Chains A and B, each alone.
Chain A
């Protein structure tokens, strides 16, 4: 799966949880008022189930989850290592 395909899946997932209008690839998802405390774990479950990867302890950095760009990059890195 290439970078753009990953990005599209990430955006499709986020659309279930927050309004996408005006949300740029590098905008911080967690600073929107739309997400709550449930969302963080939903995002982890999504990347694991959708892309068949395991989010590890060392992946726990906000720079891996804070935006469309960040999540796409995390998935691209982890899938390329498989």
Chain B
């Protein structure tokens, strides 16, 4: 047993870290405050291949292995949770299309999405359907070779700028997945502003009023939107969020290690105070346990092992909690300075809370994990 990255994975991680340092860190506080993700940053992410990182080369993607994809999310998570969220939702749709899309759908969208020529968003949540995904109220009614969609979607990440949505609606009571293009006259996109965390994620509501889409836009089969199409996408999303949380927590640890050696109180650096050492130790151990769970999930995902899905849920559950605990400890160490935009801690702290809510809340992960473990023994 050897837990180590390959030379190629290490090189890729360094390239991602350099991209984040050069393109994201100098501007992230400004665009986070403005609640606007810079279009030119999306273009640079596309040019680097990051928007198609999980797509095969035949579609213009990087064809990354699962561990490398996790490293990409970790490094983006170090820099900006909103940027990592773009990777997440875009790649969720791309992956679902590559797996369950028809040849026509792949031809229309896969290469455009992989090359970053178009942005995709994942539209499952509704005002009254969050953790209980099966209680969707949005309907899709067959209408002469088309479907008529009616309903509302809420909390849709990057919906303000997405070109296409993987959207879930019920056909005769069965959840079904559809591709809906942004310029459909039956679709109205209403931005959501004033969020506490992931402020540049450009969330929006989608209002569907007799939104008429071609029958060929159905993804998979009727009734298989959940859990097959949506479940595949959310499983991938959980992995990206887990790795992003690892990056966020690692950034908080790094910032704290630098701060405790610089900041002096009672005549000595903070690092010499034992209660600070306790905080730093817990942060470091938590980051390493999150990393091990992410690597394990990545390895199993690469192997196509069925155990990957539970391992990913565990990684997401743990890493999201670690992100919160580590960000809170970092804020404590930084004191009043942590609350200012002169330091990134306040942003990481705000962003961390969102991680325990998205892609299955902490409580939903607990239910999923426990049910599987207990059912097998009963």
Binding site for B on A (CB under 8 A): 13, 15-19, 34-46, 48-49, 57, 60-62
Contact = CB atoms under 8 A, between A and B. Distances in A.
A35 to B, nearest CB: 7
A41 B224 CA distance: 11
B228 A44 contact: yes
Chain A interface, >50% SS class: helix
B90 to A, nearest CB: 20
A36 B305 contact: no
Contacts of A61: 221
Nearest to B235: A41
Chain B interface, >50% SS class: helix
A41 B231 contact: yes
Interface string B214-229: 0000001101101110
A46 B309 CA distance: 11
A37 B376 contact: no
Nearest to A33: B375
Interface string B117-141: 0000000000000000100000000
Contact of A46 (B221, B226, B306): B306
A60 B101 CA distance: 12
Interface string B223-247: 1101110011001000000000000
Contact of B227 (A13, A18, A40, A45): A40
A30 to B, nearest CB: 10
Contact of B376 (A18, A43, A45): A18
A37 B221 contact: no
B100 interface: yes
Contacts of A57: 100-102, 220-221
B148 interface: no
A49 B368 contact: no
A34 B258 CA distance: 49
Contact of A60 (B224, B226, B305, B376): B224
B221 A41 contact: no
B359 to A, nearest CB: 13
B2 interface: no
Contacts of A13: 306
